[in-house]
Every structure is written in structure tokens, then in C-alpha cells.
A and B are shown apart, each in its own frame.
Chain A
């Protein structure tokens, strides 16, 4: 098949495999998540932690260099049934509707939106605006990589 031929040609060996941050993150993430899932699988009786918990934990562990991961870790370890990112989804519907009402009010609207953004980021409410904005960028990238990894795992096992 064509694809095989293409793949044979494209096998490139990377000299500095640890320099690519996305690859490093993905590697770490899967290395945290899959064993955790296995463990979860095995301890079926005493499964206090949900898959969501493990997923978030893996995310936090793989992104240790960012402040938001520390907050996330704190949240996860403190509560047994954490509602870290799930809580935002209930707010999500509200937020999506609200911009229609606040369309005219630009000045006050920005403050509102910044506050909402702060709520989305773990630990965002303790940061000031500038810090929060830079952390949001990291958080978004890590979330993207996380979704890709999760999707591949899910797809692979179905």
C-alpha cells in the first residue's frame, strides 16, 4: 500500500527526543495514565477514584512545571470526589448564553469574562490577570494534548 511505502521513508530518528515539549508531555501523560487505569481496573472492588480523577491526576503530574498543575494536584488530593473540571461544564451553558446579553457592555463585560476565565483555570482565582493569561495558554495546550492522547487510547481499545 502507498501508506506503507510512505511510512518506510518517513522513519526519522530524533536526536533530541526530550526537547520537544509536546512529545515529552504526551509521553509522560500516557505513562501516568495507563498504569493508573490498569490499577483501577484491577481494584474493581475498592475503586474510590473515578476515571476522571485519574485522568486529571495524570494531567497534573505530566505538567509539573506549571503553577496550575500544582493547584490541580492540590484539589485532587484534598477531595476524594473531585469536581475539578466537571464543575465548569455546568457553568458552561450559562457562559455561552451570557455574551448575547452583555454584547453591548464592553468594559464591564471584559471584567466578567476575565473572572470566568479565572474560574476555568485551576488555581486561576489566586493569580492576577497577567499571570493567569500566560498560564491559560499552557493549560490550553496541555488540554489539547490530553484530548488527543485520550482519544487515541479510547479508539485503540474499542
Chain B
């Protein structure tokens, strides 16, 4: 049986909704062929109720069980009407692909995939076509060569595409992912990055716990405005002072050292390399920029130990 032929037909009908003209293209014998297909399918399965509602295929079924020959129905005559050229070209495109092997591939694959759940061959083929027909209600995806077209694999494919989209987003976030290709390598990178971040947090908190008793924190109630003044909504990449910064979590190459000595604030910015900072780091720079400016402000106002100021959100 030539289900791919039928698939094509149905698909094109869905696309165009100009079935009467379409049938004209087929020619008179084509119509009979189509009817035969309809009857063949219509007898076998209740799932194909949708088939009965096609306007041109009325309820007059012949109970013939002939198979459509492969080539007869779709010998397309050259059509003058340009509107149908697309349909024709689509059909013709599939022809030179090696009809035999394509259809067999599809058929075999469909059988393999649905064999477990289906009872007979005919049922298998019917559900395959029915899932094709129901496609217009959902996202219309054209089956690629050699891929099965049943619903499960379509859903699976959609899911896989979603996941790969998200992986691409993650690629932007995690530095160093661009060089690695493939899901596994990227996942490795991401895992390593998250672990290194967590270890850093752990290390810093340990350090904090050591120096905590000596910590002198004064929570001054500076006005919220003053704090916000040092933040820019959009980061200006031309800030020359920031040009050499590297963010902390990456490989510990650049660092911003704020060291407070008696009465003076020495702020040393050391960076080993200058990089083109990706966009998300621009926001990071704002934070550090704030601390920098604040330290400077403290130096003017207060000679002595550095006092902590915390944002107080209103």
C-alpha cells in the first residue's frame, strides 16, 4: 500500500484547501485512485472518521481493496495555473528521492515503532496517517527523511528541540562553553562551572567565618538615593576603569583588591589580561564600581577603618 502517497495527498489538501482544482490536476483517473484509497482506509478503522468528512470524498465508498499503484496517480501534467506549482513542485521533489526506499524506510520504521501497540499492519498504517491528518491542529512538522511520523516521535522531537534551545541559552551564560561542541561537553562545562562557583562560595564563607569576630560592621542608614546614584541602569562599556576587569569566578586570573590600611584606602586593580567582557558581566561591574566609589567616598569623609555600609531598601 502506498501510504506515503496518501500522506502527501492529505497534507497538500490541508495546505491548500483547494481540493477540487487539485483533483483537476490529477485528472480523472487520479480521482478514482483517491477514492479507492479512501475506501480502503475507511473500511478498516474507526479512527479515520475524519477522512469521511472530506468534501470531495463523499460517503460513496466502493469496497474495493485495490492498492494504488505507485506511479499512476501522480503523473502530473504541466499546469498552467501558477498557484498549484508549489504543490506540484513539492510532490515532484519527493519523487526523485528514490521513492521506493523512502517509502520502505518510512513503512518499516513505522512498523517498528508502533508494532508494540498496534494489532495489525493495517491498523499501524492507519494510525500513522491519522496522526498525519491531526497534525494541522498542532504544529505542522514535516517528517524528515527516514524519520517516523507517529505522534510519539513528534512530541519527542519537539521536546528535544526545546532542550537544545535552552542549552544554547546556557552556552551564553557559562563562559568557555563556546569552544566545546556537543551536549555532553557542554553539560560537563556547566557542571564544572556550577561546582566551582559553589566551592568558591564555600571558601569565601569559611574565610568570612574566620574573620567574623573581627568584623566591625556599622550599618549606616545612608539614604537609598545615594546608593542608587552609583548604579547605572545600563552599563557604559567605555568606562576605562572597568576595561581590564575579569569577573571573579573565572579562573581567578583578574582580581579586584580592596585593601584598607590605616587611614588610607588603597585600591588596586590588577588584571592579567583585558578581555571583551560579555554583556552579563557589565552588570557585575556595576557592583564592583559601586564598592570602589564608596571606598573612595569613605576616604574623604573618614580617615580610619573602613566601615561597612549596607543598602537599606526603603
Partners in one complex: yes
A contacts, CB < 8 Å to B: 3-4, 6-7, 10-17, 19-23, 26-28, 30-31, 34-35, 37-38, 40-41, 44, 50-52, 55, 85-86, 88-89, 92, 95-96, 99, 106, 109-110, 113-114, 116-117, 120-121, 129-130, 133-134, 136-137, 139-141, 143-158
Please pick, from B174, B249, B295, B310, the residue contacting A34 in the complex, using a CB distance under 8 A.
B310
Contact residues on B (Cβ < 8 Å of other chain), bracket: 35 or more
Q: Which 9 A-B pairs have the closest CB atoms?
A: A17-B228, A51-B209, A22-B283, A113-B187, A150-B204, A133-B166, A143-B197, A55-B205, A92-B195
State whether A130 touches B187 (Cβ < 8 A).
no
Measured between beta carbons, the chain B residues less than 8 angstroms from A41 are: 212-213, 215, 217
Interface SS of chain A: helix, strand, loop or mixed?
Answer: helix
Quote the shortest CB–CB distance from B115 to chain A (angstroms): 23
Please pick, from A28, A31, A89, A113, the residue contacting B202 in the complex, using a CB distance under 8 A.
A89
User: 7 more A-B contacts (CB under 8 A) besides A23-B283, A140-B174?
Assistant: A6-B241, A11-B230, A19-B233, A99-B184, A129-B163, A148-B288, A155-B256
Measured between beta carbons, the chain A residues less than 8 angstroms from B292 are: 7
Quote the shortest CB–CB distance from B141 to chain A (angstroms): 18
Please pick, from B190, B230, B259, the residue contacting A155 in the complex, using a CB distance under 8 A.
B259
Measured between beta carbons, the chain B residues less than 8 angstroms from A110 are: 183-184, 187
State whether A14 touches B198 (Cβ < 8 A).
no
Report 30 cross-chain contacts, Cβ distance below 8 Å, ordered by A residue. A7-B293, A10-B239, A13-B229, A23-B286, A26-B287, A27-B313, A31-B310, A35-B310, A52-B205, A95-B195, A96-B192, A99-B184, A99-B188, A117-B194, A130-B162, A133-B167, A136-B194, A137-B173, A140-B190, A147-B249, A148-B287, A151-B204, A152-B291, A155-B258, A156-B306, A157-B215, A157-B216, A157-B306, A158-B211, A158-B259
Most buried by A among B208, B247, B259, B286: B208
Chain B, residue nearest A4 (CB): B296
Please pick, from A55, A113, A149, the residue contacting B188 in the complex, using a CB distance under 8 A.
A113
| Interface residues as binary, B144-175 with A (CB distance below 8 Å gives 1, 0 otherwise) | 00000000000000010011001101100110
- Give CA–CA (A16, B187) in the complex, Å: 36
State whether B228 touches A14 (Cβ < 8 A).
yes
B contacts, CB < 8 Å to A: 159, 162-163, 166-167, 169-170, 173-174, 182-184, 187-188, 190-195, 197-202, 204-209, 211-217, 219, 227-233, 236, 239-241, 247-249, 256-260, 267, 280, 283-284, 286-289, 291-293, 295-296, 306, 308, 310-313
- Give CA–CA (A23, B169) in the complex, Å: 21
Measured between beta carbons, the chain B residues less than 8 angstroms from A137 are: 166, 169-170, 173
Measured between beta carbons, the chain B residues less than 8 angstroms from A7 are: 241, 292-293, 296
Chain A, residue nearest B284 (CB): A148
State whether B284 touches A154 (Cβ < 8 A).
no
State whether A140 touches B193 (Cβ < 8 A).
yes
State whether A147 touches B204 (Cβ < 8 A).
yes
Quote the shortest CB–CB distance from B171 to chain A (angstroms): 10
